Chain A
């Protein structure tokens, strides 16, 4: 036994005597993780959260969450002598007088943007591949909650410096709170401890930002990962991949090295952004002042869709019986995100209702194979993107010299017209891709070689698509078809001679999958040349 082996065994014994850990460690080190680039998106979210914790902890050592007014006397000359809150002054201090503080601040801000972005894109990956299906519905809900948390956390965070931009954002938040029917004014004074802005909000947001929400996020991430661990990761269809296995690399050492290395790469990107791309230059905005604002005020990207919906909304307000319900405020800022996130969170159950499919699914869908789900997803993205565009309408107006009014009026119509068109187009594209796949599976790849038959007939030779590709394309259903045609000698034979109607046809919501409708896969196209397979 080597020294290393002895050491490991010794340490292992110590822990095993006390915790019985060896069994679990042995099992865990051998745990198999499937490999696909899209599975790294969630990793980016996790890593950016770790970076946020590291940089955020450092920032708390210097940040002073007080709205007490001071006269700035730091090294940033243009603001010398200006009255500002302690929070703003300490943020200036971090940026100009703490060595490397600006880098930390900017890495923190960039990784916050990355955190929300990677969660969003990870959510799309999970949606379009059907990874949320049974048994993973709970993890989908946790993911949705994490997305909401990341947005709230980001908003609370960028409101802390008490600069002009974030103060404007806070004022909007205060006004939205105030507009909520019945409880609005109560919520406003209780949240701010006074009429906006009061002197408490930065301190309260600080507690929320560094304790409450990070704690919740940490707890949710823990559950998220535990469930992934316990339920095992999904995988795409492919050679050897079935509903009942996982194929990939073991946790130790390959997966650990790759995932660990990837953490450092994500951190490196955040560091580069934090040092080379200026973000939230609060010294240019100046301290918050209720009577000041700068043109082109834009929130961080994850708030943009709500800003957009607010800008698009017509000025409807209901006044009756000495009360006011400002629909122009609560519909786009309270009702819309509420409905949106509820639909997202409930999607696994909505889809179960639509398809009647309550089975276990460990193999992922290719988006094209579920045209309606994919179309709904892309439709949702188009809706979101239009809100984002609306959120930047003033910027777009000044860059492209279009009037803000034109953009807003156009988007008010487009937001209802474009998503359905996108739905139809996406569905057509998916079906087209399916037809293309089907063509490849059934007829192979065009080789470009023309052969003349003895009869004088010209035919083009096709090359059978490799088995691995066929399996990827055909998915689990196709796998079954191929299995049924397996003759036990490592060769594939025609998948049954029975009439086509005997095979189950997809019905309902996912009836658009064309590949299952057609005749069984032709043997001459699928069968790999025999001398190339059975060499084991």
Chain B
């Protein structure tokens, strides 16, 4: 029943600490003169008697069973504690030396051998240096500094009623002295003038971006009639280049077409019999080749995880899933619209070209879209 014992000890502890703490504190008495009261410790407070009555608190001891503190330490124990703290402080010196040596002597370039140890070593020495000071300071405070439990009264920050009234009064009087309540013309023109100032920043805000034709930005892409579908390296794709079940990301053969945010398209080949074209789009695919926008209609991520067997296109961002064999309709997830389909054709040399731009805006929905 060691628990029980310690609890009994705690009950006894207030008396002990009050003796230990009654050593007096020159600062404390100074403080009591200021706007709030402070005494050395509740134990002293309780011992002095009169305070106790003033404050109406019962004789409740403050002492906590805590760490062995300065007052309870013998001189030998205190010296041992001091040595521990000093040891931690010296750890910082070791850490800093290690850090500096590593920093300038160890290899860190990607091509250099053993460079992978550079950052971990730096971190370990840095942490040593920081821990030494940090842990030393905490241990110092816990073992060697005065173990007092200072009591400080809270003060009431609410102002007395008359001060509140006076403040309100001062505000009203100042307002009246300004003449604003009486002089209607002054008031109205001030409101109008200050209000119109709010318009000043608007031109700056409106010039942050090209709003003039913003909808065209969202509605159109660089795909045009007759533009070839090219791979990332710029090579065009001929009918038959793609294996059955394959998916190739393609871009329009225009300058910078590879890095545009709305042009990436996937060309998928499946058995023509597996393909169910949407009505009116029967001639958009060629011999099982079908092309959809890569950009998710939900939040614009590239929908590029393709499951060959089910023909499902999966968006890794929010898991919207589209059925590539069935007009890229949504089969799961938060996306509400099918992926836009690019109408395919073949040019004279047998390369895939676009019949035109996407028939609907690529990417997420927006207000102006029907």
Contact = CB atoms under 8 A, between A and B. Distances in A.
Interface in B324-370: 330, 332-337, 363-370
Contacts of B122: 100, 103, 275
Interface residues of B, number: 113
Interface in B242-256: 249, 251
A113 to B, nearest CB: 16
Given A245-B153, A246-B154, A314-B334, A261 B261 contact: no
A393 B314 CA distance: 14
A272 B58 contact: no
B363 A175 contact: yes
Interface stretch (B59-67, B173-181, B183-191, B276-284): B59-67
A168 B264 contact: no
A11 interface: no
Interface string A463-483: 101111101000000000011
B126 A271 contact: yes
Given A168-B317, A264-B133, A103 B126 contact: yes
B262 A178 contact: no
Contacts of B317: 168, 172, 293, 297
Given A172-B317, A254-B146, A195 B218 contact: yes
Given A103-B119, A190-B211, A324-B366, A293 B304 contact: yes
A536 B34 contact: no
A189 B209 contact: yes
A264 B302 contact: no
A171 B300 CA distance: 6
Contacts of B330: 315
Interface string A173-193: 011101111111110111111
B336 A275 contact: no
A377 interface: no
Q: How large is the interface on A (under 10, 10 to 19, 20 to 34, 35 or more residues)?
A: 35 or more
B319 A408 contact: yes
B38 A30 contact: yes
Given A75-B110, A246-B154, A297-B316, A240 B299 contact: no
B151 A197 contact: no
Contacts of B77: none
B131 A466 contact: no
Interface stretch (B9-17, B159-167, B193-201): B9-17
Contacts of B109: 75, 96-97
A463 B4 contact: yes
Interface string A503-536: 0000000000000000000000000110011111
A275 B61 contact: no
Nearest to B92: A264
Interface stretch (A284-292, A341-349, A426-434): A284-292
A317 B365 contact: yes
Nearest to B305: A295
B367 A181 contact: yes
Nearest to A486: B58
Nearest to A326: B365
Contacts of A23: 34
Given A186-B214, A242-B57, A329-B365, A272 B319 contact: no
Contacts of A230: 157
Contact of B209 (A29, A193, A310, A469): A193
B319 A393 contact: yes
A313 B334 contact: yes
A369 B358 CA distance: 63
Nearest to B140: A257
Given A30-B38, A239-B62, A264 B146 contact: no
Interface string A281-306: 00000000111111111000000000
A138 B110 CA distance: 51
12 contacts: A77-B111, A106-B119, A179-B365, A186-B214, A189-B211, A191-B209, A244-B154, A258-B142, A264-B134, A323-B368, A468-B10, A535-B15
Interface of B: 1, 4, 7-8, 10-12, 14-15, 18, 27-28, 30-31, 34-35, 38, 42-43, 46-47, 55-64, 103, 108-111, 119-124, 126-128, 130-131, 133-138, 140-142, 145-146, 148-154, 157, 205-206, 208-211, 214-215, 217-218, 249, 251, 258-262, 264, 294-295, 298-302, 304-305, 316-320, 330, 332-337, 363-370
Interface of A: 23, 26-27, 29-32, 75-77, 96-97, 99-100, 102-103, 106, 135, 168, 171-172, 174-176, 178-186, 188-198, 230-232, 239-240, 242-250, 253-254, 257-258, 260-265, 267-269, 271-272, 274-276, 289-297, 307, 310-317, 319, 322-326, 328-329, 332, 362, 393-394, 404-405, 408, 445, 447-448, 463, 465-469, 471, 482-483, 486, 490, 492, 528-529, 532-536
Across the A-B interface, give the 5 residue pairs with the lowest CB-CB distance, nearest first: A275-B123, A264-B134, A261-B137, A291-B264, A317-B336
